[in-house]
Amino acid sequence: MNIATKIFEMIETCREEVLIAIPKAGEELVKQALPKLRQLHDKGVKITILTSDRFDKNALKGLTRLATVKIKKGLFGGGIISDKHNVVILLGPEISHSNASEIIAICTDHAELSGFAREYFEYLLKDVSKVK
C-alpha cells in the first residue's frame, strides 16, 4: 500500500478529529487530499493542519476554509493522526538534506505510539502562527 492510499483511507474513516502536520515535500499530497478534507469538514470533523513556512501561500488560503491552519518555521517531518489512534508519521527529504521528493512513512495504530504522536503534535503547535 502506498503512503497516499493509507492517508486517504485514514481521512475517509475519520469521524471526530484529524491532526495533520505536513512539510513542504508533502504539498502535492495535500492537494490530492483536498476533496476528502472537504468531505470531512462538511461532516463536522475537526481538522487542524500544521505546515512549513515554505508551503505554497495559495494552497494555504484554500486550506483555511476547511481547517485551522498553523505555520511552523523549519517543519521537516509530518504526519496524520486520525481520531486519536491511527497514525502515519511522514519523513520528508528535508531531514536528509536531499533534493529528492520522496517521503518515507511509518504507519501504526499502537496506543502508546499514537499517544506520543499526539503529544508531539500538540508540542509543535506551541509558538506557531495561525493562517487567517
The three cell numbers of residue 75 are 517543519
Per-residue pLDDT, 82: 95
Per-residue pLDDT, 56: 85
Give the CA-trace dihedral at 92, 38, 55, 69, to 10 degrees. -100
Domain 3-130: state its class.
alpha beta
Per-residue pLDDT, 3: 81
Numbers of helices and strands, H then E, in the chain: 4, 7
Per-residue pLDDT, 93: 61
Rounded Cα gap, residues 51 and 92, in angstroms: 12
The pTM score is 0.85
Which segments in the chain show pLDDT lower than 50?
96
Per-residue pLDDT, 100: 56
Per-residue pLDDT, 121: 92
Q: Round the average pLDDT of the chain to a whole number and report it.
A: 86
DSSP state of 131: P
Per-residue pLDDT, 30: 83
DSSP calls for 48-94: EEEEETTS-HHHHHHHHTTSEEEEETT--EEEEEETTTEEEEEE-GG
